[in-house]
Structure 1
Amino acid sequence: MNLKEIDLEYVLHTYARNYINFKRGENATLFDEEGKDYIDFTSGIGVVSVGHGNKRVSEAICNQAKNIIHISNLYLIEPQAKLAKKLVELSGYDMRLFFANSGAEANEGAIKIARKYGEVDGEVKRYKIITLKHSFHGRTITALKATGQEAMHTYFGPFPDGFVYADDIDSIESLLDDHTVAVMIELIQGEGGVEPLDKAKVQKLAKSLKKKDILLIVDEVQTGIYRTGELLASNLYEIEPDIITLAKGLGGGIPIGAIMTRLKDIFKPGDHGSTFGGNYLSCSAANTVLDILEDEKDRGVLDERMVYFEDRINEMAKKYSNIFQKSVGLGFMRGLRAKSGEILSKIIEESFKERVLVLKAGRNTIRFLPPLTISKEEIDEGIKRFEKAILKVSDQI
């Protein structure tokens, strides 16, 4: 059996795969088993934040693996403590952290924090959590129910109660009641079409929730770790959430999730836990990732690359207005809104043939999540290949 046949026979298929076997990577460039190169505008869906084959991250992982990989959270974990301190200091928020393995787990933990906050003397007083339509918060049962996309709720019920979906940020206030404990939002909806929320409206909402003692949870699983230019999109929006969730780019490819919260004493021993969360290996990788990106931010090269990438994406939107409605997104989280689902599918298909990797998102959007360390040369080569794909599709419509 060849590799494709083995995969088809033995792997449970939850993804519509392209059957290509990548063997190695260098920053934003991947190489298949035949040695062909592909420009990666996806970074493993926003995960490989400092590029493929990053020497500093791989050395940190190897050095840690030679000593201790995992001991459990029953004992002090040095790189975990240092990572928590680093995230608090870089964020500027007075918070404590809990470490998990993924974004879905982080969001589950955030929901548990909110639900416990809504209890008074052991009795449930407030439990409702408002999220937005087109949102995405994870694949576990509760995180899936928090996701405001009805199509994703098929088959998997019954779900936990207590989630209410607002059509948009303007309608959240009208849904608040005596049972509302939290509002949970993505500042840029990733799966929902790379759609940034209006900054002034978010700030107004944050102030209103604070006055009403309703928690603001910001899901930064995709927007966090400098993806939008600052450590957190919350910093960019100039708000102070009560709870922030992180994952994806934090470990540079090693699975890790995190909950940051100002509610420092909300959990007592036994309220929550994770066997693997925040272990030596994942936290060592994450500390190195933050060191790399903090340095690039301080030197101005991260912002410079982001502006350059934005300009190239906007150029495509203007040049091919027959194909695209508009350019959307912030920083290295960008999208091109295609004029139809058919056009979207064709462009993604042709892009792969031209050896540039892009992603599909909701609302007919092509999503770009390149490594934050992508070079200008890789950007130019990727855009060149992407434009070839656009021209092929343009000839077909």
Structure 2
Amino acid sequence: MNLEQQDKKYVLQTYARDYTNFVKGVGSTLYDENGKDYIDFASGIGVNSVGHGNEKLASAICEQAKNIIHISNLQVIEPQAKLAEKIVELSGYDMAIFFANSGAEANEGAIKIARKYGEINFDEKRYKVITLEHSFHGRTITTVKATGQESFHTPHFSPYPAGFSYEKSISDVYKAIDDETVAVLIELVQGEGGVQPFEKKEIQDLAAHLKAEGILLIVDEVQTGVYRTGEFLASNLYEIEPDIITLAKGLGGGVPIGAVMTKHKEVLSAGDHGSTFGGNYLSTSAGLAVLDVLETLYESGAIAEAHLYFEQKLENIVKNYGDLFEKEVGLGLMRGLRAKSSEIQTAVQKQSLQEGLIVLKAGRNTVRFLPSITISKEEIDEGFKRFEKAISTL
């Protein structure tokens, strides 16, 4: 039985898998079982923030595993406290953190904080959460309902929790607020929805309005956080101060971790929320190593240089292949090329893999790029060389 047969027999088939078998990674290069190398412009969908085989991260994981991997949250966990302090310090916000295992769990925590806030701070309970069309917030029953894409709300998993509505634009949010609204949940750059950033001014105006109305602003930074868009948080880039922020993906460099941080530290009390694995020794030690690597890169200017270099490469692609792509979109190292059709989008992803390059799809027609934050100029050059070879055949 080969690997594909084994997978199809024993693993639930919830993914449309490619069966390339990767066995090793170095930096932003992966190697399959036959020794073929691939430039990785996907980083595990924005997870491998410090690349593959990073020595600092691997060492931190190994050293921690030799001592303690896990105890329960009934005891204090030193790297958890240190990671919480580091995240708060880098964010510049006066917040406290709950650790989970994924972005969906972080968003679940955010919704729970918002709903309890809506109960204890108003005469009549507020519980409704407004999100945006084309948003994505997770795969649990609650976060899939918070996701503003009707295709996710299939009848298979109904009934869904009540209290969520979706607006087409930021300007529509104002009209949707009623006396039961407790929060607005947004991504500053919609990832799965097509790598679509919002305008800074409209986000700042919305944040000011919500603050004046006593309504919480929740920013889902599962994909945009941890230097992905340039600053530590996209919220920093947009110069706003949310009430609640969620993180995951790049925070652990590949080790599962999620976090919900809030300035409303008094809302949750003992017993209101919990996680068996969340914030354990292994994941938070990994998080500390990741932030140590990325903070150093940020302060040196290397992250800003990589962002600019990658953007210039994408601009050249649009200039030279206007028959395939309309424009480049995104921020930092969360980028996309808007293809002229979904057929082109699919063909580009497939042909890129054939040429030894991993790219992603987002929305209906966007080719998405989420390389490691540590990617080198040489890897960017080689990746785009392969990308041009792939698209020249279309």
TM-score class, shorter = over 0.9
* Whole-angstrom distance in 2 between the partners of 1:189 and 1:124: 32
Residue pair 1:68, 1:280 contacting (<8 A) in 2 also: yes
2:204 alignment partner in structure 1: 203
The verdict on how the C-alpha distance between 1:48 and 1:36 changes in structure 2, with shifts beyond 3 A counting, is: same
1:227 alignment partner in structure 2: 228
Matches within 5 A, 1:23-62: 23-62=23-62
Matches within 5 A, 1:47-86: 47-86=47-86
The yes-or-no answer on 1:102 pairing with 2:140 is: no
* Whole-angstrom distance in 2 between the partners of 1:165 and 1:6: 41
**SS of equivalent to 1:318:** helix
* Whole-angstrom distance in 2 between the partners of 1:342 and 1:307: 29
Please give the per-residue CA displacement for 1:250-305, whole angstroms capped at 9, x wherever unaligned. Answer: 00000000001000111110000000000000000000000000000001111111
1:16 alignment partner in structure 2: 16
1:348 alignment partner in structure 2: 349
**SS of equivalent to 2:137:** coil
The yes-or-no answer on 1:2 pairing with 2:19 is: no
1:237 alignment partner in structure 2: 238
Percentage of matched positions with identical amino acids: 67
1:90 alignment partner in structure 2: 90
- Corresponding pairs, count: 393
* Whole-angstrom distance in 2 between the partners of 1:67 and 1:53: 21
2:119 alignment partner in structure 1: 119
**SS of equivalent to 1:119:** helix
* Whole-angstrom distance in 1 between the partners of 2:265 and 2:288: 22
Gaps of 5+ in 2: none
AA in 1 matched with 2:95: M
Matches within 5 A, 1:189-338: 189-338=190-339
AA in 2 matched with 1:167: K
1:164 alignment partner in structure 2: 165
2:184 alignment partner in structure 1: 183
Please give the per-residue CA displacement for 1:8-54, whole angstroms capped at 9, x wherever unaligned. Answer: 11110111111111110001000011111000000000000000000
**SS of equivalent to 1:360:** strand
* Whole-angstrom distance in 2 between the partners of 1:51 and 1:110: 29
* Whole-angstrom distance in 2 between the partners of 1:123 and 1:153: 32
* Whole-angstrom distance in 1 between the partners of 2:62 and 2:181: 46
**SS of equivalent to 2:323:** coil
Gaps of 5+ in 1: none
* Whole-angstrom distance in 2 between the partners of 1:89 and 1:121: 28
* Whole-angstrom distance in 1 between the partners of 2:199 and 2:302: 27
AA in 2 matched with 1:364: N
* Whole-angstrom distance in 2 between the partners of 1:191 and 1:338: 15
Please give the per-residue CA displacement for 1:167-211, whole angstroms capped at 9, x wherever unaligned. Answer: 111111010110100000000000000000110000000000000
Residue pair 1:337, 1:363 contacting (<8 A) in 2 also: no
**What is the TM-score normalised by the length of structure 1?**
0.98
The yes-or-no answer on 1:387 pairing with 2:388 is: yes
**SS of equivalent to 2:157:** coil
**SS of equivalent to 1:17:** coil
* Whole-angstrom distance in 1 between the partners of 2:362 and 2:320: 22
* Whole-angstrom distance in 2 between the partners of 1:120 and 1:19: 51
Please give the per-residue CA displacement for 1:144-167, whole angstroms capped at 9, x wherever unaligned. Answer: 000000001112110000001011
* Whole-angstrom distance in 2 between the partners of 1:133 and 1:308: 31
**SS of equivalent to 2:15:** coil
AA in 2 matched with 1:376: K
Segments of 4+ in structure 1 off by > 4 A?
121-124
Deviation at 1:122, TM superposition (A): 9.9
**SS of equivalent to 1:118:** helix
* Whole-angstrom distance in 2 between the partners of 1:121 and 1:285: 37
AA in 1 matched with 2:319: K
**SS of equivalent to 1:325:** strand
Deviation at 1:363, TM superposition (A): 3.0
* Whole-angstrom distance in 1 between the partners of 2:157 and 2:201: 37
**SS of equivalent to 1:337:** strand
* Whole-angstrom distance in 1 between the partners of 2:15 and 2:3: 16
* Whole-angstrom distance in 2 between the partners of 1:317 and 1:98: 42
* Whole-angstrom distance in 1 between the partners of 2:242 and 2:123: 25
* Whole-angstrom distance in 2 between the partners of 1:56 and 1:238: 31
Residue pair 1:145, 1:153 contacting (<8 A) in 2 also: yes
* Whole-angstrom distance in 1 between the partners of 2:8 and 2:148: 32
Deviation at 1:236, TM superposition (A): 0.2
The verdict on how the C-alpha distance between 1:370 and 1:255 changes in structure 2, with shifts beyond 3 A counting, is: same
* Whole-angstrom distance in 2 between the partners of 1:15 and 1:354: 23
AA in 1 matched with 2:145: K
Deviation at 1:314, TM superposition (A): 1.3
